[in-house]
Amino acid sequence: MDSLGPNREDGVTVTAMTALQPDLFGFPQHSGPVRDAPSPEIIALVRTRLHAALALVQGAERMPWPDQLSVIREDNAFRYAKGLLPAEEGAALWAAFDREMDRLYAVMNEGKDVDMGK
């Protein structure tokens, strides 16, 4: 921080933000160190996991996880991991997974009243 020197009657030194300080409400100039792209081995592991998750939901008659927290965790994991694959491949896998999840949610909620939050 750049010091402006004691500039108050009580002798306190007020400091100014430098260019290295990111804007609180804007986009930082530097978002930190540049991350390396995932290795081919990592991409292969992610691809295998996503295909396994997709096969699990495609073969399921009802939600394959025991509770809502597990469902959310699996959904979020898939959503994040698809971003590690090439864009078209990730989008295609996500579309298929999302379609199956919609089907399983419909089964899970069949016959239940919709809570409109009122």
pLDDT tens digit sequence for 17-66:
555 666 666 655 555 566 778 899 999 999 999 999 999 999 999 999 99
Residue 15 has pLDDT above 80, yes or no: no
pLDDT digits (tens, 9 = 90+) for 85-117: 999 999 999 999 999 999 999 999 888 876 767
pTM, two decimals, is 0.66
Q: Is 52 left (phi over 0), alpha (psi -120 to 50) or beta?
A: alpha
Counts of helices then strands in the chain (DSSP H, E): 3, 2
Using the predicted structure, report yes or no on whether residue 8 has a pLDDT greater than 70. Answer: no
- Diameter of the chain by CA atoms? 74
- Cβ–Cβ under 8 Å, residues 13 and 6: yes
Q: Residue 115 in 3-state DSSP? A: coil
Of 46, 48, 55, residue with least CA distance to 97: 55
